[in-house]
């Protein structure tokens, strides 16, 4: 991986988050960030800045919308609450589920069509497809092949391979990781989404998009509180209010709601504060777009998708002993996010080397298992009389022999023994008493953990897990020191959001279009596809529709 300079500035993106500086990212990156020339009165409102299309969120959907609108002649301003662009997309694996007869499919002799894509994504036998809006899926399917070619035309470099995604034929392709080291949020070698996101960012900037970083939308502006056209947005920057007018439309691409505890508990009240969220601390999903749109009358859509217990919307942690241990997203020491994490975690866990216990020190599941059964078992067995809901915290318990077998290093940069996510002690009872975290609402009972470990060791001796059926439990937990590592499940996808029609126009509670308001990405409901493809397709649709059909007011 190249470590050459990503731009000609004196301050790298990696230094930015640590210093909090606003200088040095280049004029295109900070255009209008410090000063906003007033553009007078329009639509009965005073505006600081005006463009044809105002986009909220510079992630996958927002950047796709920007490139699409620009190529159809619209001017674009993007506001982004973070210090850099990318959202979840730049941290992703870069797999794009687009088929329907792409050039890559033809190269590999794969025959596909939009009809086949549609059939796969409305398959009633699949929970992930069953509750989706068929009109939305039809629009997605019809745009698949052209969107793949559009990405290639706009600089996305895909690997010459196809990956099965569970449909009729192979469709999934993967971008190359972005080659400029300084422009990576994490250098972990499987974060290929950076190649997709940085390519779209580059094209958007080249074509004239203005990206206002550290600008957080606070509300939408509509002609009347719940009627009329959406005129633009109000954003906050450095304590000042900035009003941005979108003459042809406003796109909400804020990234979903998984980080908003109150919002996500509308769909499942068990999802309390303790759960990890993929993408944090870089890209929290705070439901900003959903809440702003609902405040002016917008509707949610296909909400059953969020609780269908299929796909990867909730998953078992892959890296234990750290606050954020999602899958292959590892915060390495060279990441600008590392200072906000308690270490990169202990990885490649062989669950024959550890057990998992609830906050009350009880096992609840076969530790080698995965999926939603793990989550539901945690909820059923947490057993804390002071905790009325939620399924955590969950702790992995293991001993010195496990550390040796795994080849782990106990200490920074992997874990922080002085923090709230990893503990060690010379006895099991002392370990239980040492455990603390913001989410451990009562001390773990030492006797309960001692009993749990002793019972598990008896299963190792007999070769049979009489409680949860772990396949041939092999390793006793007996040699000090003993360890407890944070292992609470991780929330990933927002699979519901605002109602739109197939043109990505937001709709209200009466099924009517809210003029001038568009939505794409995880903020959008109606289609429960995990991954980047739905974000790109509907972002592209939104940009095109606003540029071609938006009316000057």
- Which string of DSSP letters, residue by residue, matches 467-514? TT--SS------SSSEEEEE---EE-----EE-B-TT-EEEBTTS-EE
* Tokens matching residue 9: 């500035």
What secondary structure, in 3-state letters, does 46-112 show? EECEEEEEEEECCCHHHHHHHHHHHHCCCCEEEEECCCCCCCCHHHCCCEEECCCCCHHHHHCCCCC
What's the count of helices (H) and strands (E) in the chain, helices before strands?
15, 21
Asked whether the predicted pLDDT for residue 30 surpasses 60, the reply is no
Cα angle for residues 496, 501, 505 (degrees, 5° grid) = 95
CA 360 to chain CA centroid, Å, is 30
> Token pair 């299929």 is at which residue?
310
What is the average pLDDT across 271-278?
Answer: 91
> Token pair 């955590």 is at which residue?
392
What secondary structure, in 3-state letters, does 231-243 show? EEEEEEECCEEEE
Enumerate domains of the chain plus CATH numbers.
39-311+494-553 (3.50.50.60), 314-491 (3.90.700.10)
Beta-carbon neighbour count of residue 377 at 10 Å? 19
Asked whether the predicted pLDDT for residue 43 surpasses 90, the reply is no
* Tokens matching residue 210: 């203005």
- The pLDDT-based confidence of 385 (bands split at 50, 70, 90) is low
pTM score:
0.91
Note the pLDDT of residue 10: 32
Question: Rounded to the nearest 5°, which phi and psi values hold at 505?
Answer: -85, 130
Note the pLDDT of residue 19: 40
Classify residue 33 by its DSSP letter: T
* Tokens matching residue 330: 């590892």
For 233-274, the pLDDT digits (tens) are 999 999 999 999 999 999 999 999 999 999 999 999 889 999
Note the pLDDT of residue 386: 63
* Tokens matching residue 486: 């944070």
Task: Report the percentage of the chain scoring pLDDT > 70.
Answer: 89
Most confident of 331-340, 405-414, 487-496: 405-414
Cα angle for residues 39, 41, 45 (degrees, 5° grid) = 115
Task: Report the percentage of the chain scoring pLDDT > 90.
Answer: 75
For 75-94, the pLDDT digits (tens) are 999 999 999 999 999 999 99
The more confident residue out of 387 and 420 is: 420
The more confident residue out of 124 and 533 is: 533
Classify residue 96 by its DSSP letter: E
Inter-helix orientation angle 193-206/60-71, to 10° = 30
């Amino acid at each position: 991986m190249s470590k050459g300079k990503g731009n000609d500035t004196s301050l790298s993106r990696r230094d930015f988050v640590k210093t909090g500086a606003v200088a040095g990212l280049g004029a295109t990156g900070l255009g209008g960030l410090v000063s906003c020339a007033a553009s007078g009165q329009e639509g009965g409102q005073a505006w600081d800045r005006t463009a044809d299309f105002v986009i909220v969120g510079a992630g996958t959907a927002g950047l796709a919308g920007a490139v699409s609108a620009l190529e159809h002649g619209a001017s674009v301003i993007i506001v982004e609450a973070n210090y850099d662009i990318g959202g979840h997309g730049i941290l992703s694996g870069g797999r794009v589920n687009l088929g329907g007869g792409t050039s890559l499919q033809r190269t590999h002799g794969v025959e596909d069509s939009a009809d086949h894509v549609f059939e796969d994504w409305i398959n009633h036998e699949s929970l992930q497809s069953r509750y989706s809006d068929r009109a939305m899926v039809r629009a997605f399917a019809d745009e698949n092949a052209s969107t793949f070619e559009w990405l290639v035309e706009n600089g996305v470099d895909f690997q010459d391979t196809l990956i099965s995604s569970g449909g009729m034929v192979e469709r999934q392709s993967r971008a190359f990781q972005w080659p400029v080291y300084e422009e990576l949020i994490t250098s972990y070698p499987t974060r290929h989404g950076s190649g997709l996101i940085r390519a779209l960012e580059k094209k958007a900037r080249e074509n004239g998009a203005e990206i206002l970083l550290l600008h957080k939308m606070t509300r939408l502006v509509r002609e009347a509180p719940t009627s009329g056209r959406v005129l633009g947005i109000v954003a906050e920057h450095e304590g000042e209010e900035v009003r941005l007018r979108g003459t042809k439309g406003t796109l909400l691409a804020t990234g979903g709601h998984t980080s908003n505890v109150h919002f996500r508990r509308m769909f499942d009240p068990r999802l309390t504060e303790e759960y990890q969220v993929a993408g944090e601390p870089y890209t929290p999903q705070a439901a900003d777009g959903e809440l702003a749109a609902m405040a002016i009358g917008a509707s949610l859509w296909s909400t059953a998708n969020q609780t269908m217990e299929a796909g990867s919307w909730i998953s078992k942690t892959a890296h234990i002993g750290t606050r954020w241990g999602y899958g292959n997203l590892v915060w390495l020491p060279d990441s600008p996010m590392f200072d906000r994490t308690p270490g990169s975690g202990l990885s490649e866990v062989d669950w024959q080397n550890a057990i998992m216990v609830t906050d009350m020190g009880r096992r609840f599941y076969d530790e080698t298992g995965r999926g939603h059964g793990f989550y539901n078992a945690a909820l059923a067995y947490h057993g804390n009389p002071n905790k009325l809901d939620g399924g955590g915290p969950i702790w992995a318990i293991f001993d010195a022999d496990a550390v040796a077998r795994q080849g782990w290093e106990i200490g920074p940069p992997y874990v922080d023994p002085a923090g709230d996510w990893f503990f060690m002690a010379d006895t099991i009872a002392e370990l239980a008493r040492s455990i603390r975290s913001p989410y451990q609402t009562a001390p773990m009972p030492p006797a309960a953990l001692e009993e749990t470990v002793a019972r598990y060791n008896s299963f190792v001796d007999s070769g049979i897990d009489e409680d949860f059926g772990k396949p041939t439990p092999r390793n006793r937990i007996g040699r000090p020191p003993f360890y407890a590592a944070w292992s609470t499940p991780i929330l990933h996808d927002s699979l519901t959001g605002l109602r739109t029609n197939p043109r990505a126009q937001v709709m209200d509670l009466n099924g009517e279009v809210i003029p001038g308001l568009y939505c794409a990405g995880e903020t959008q409901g109606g289609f429960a596809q995990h991954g980047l493809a739905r974000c790109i397709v509907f972002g592209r649709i939104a940009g095109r529709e606003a540029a071609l059909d938006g009316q000057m007011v």
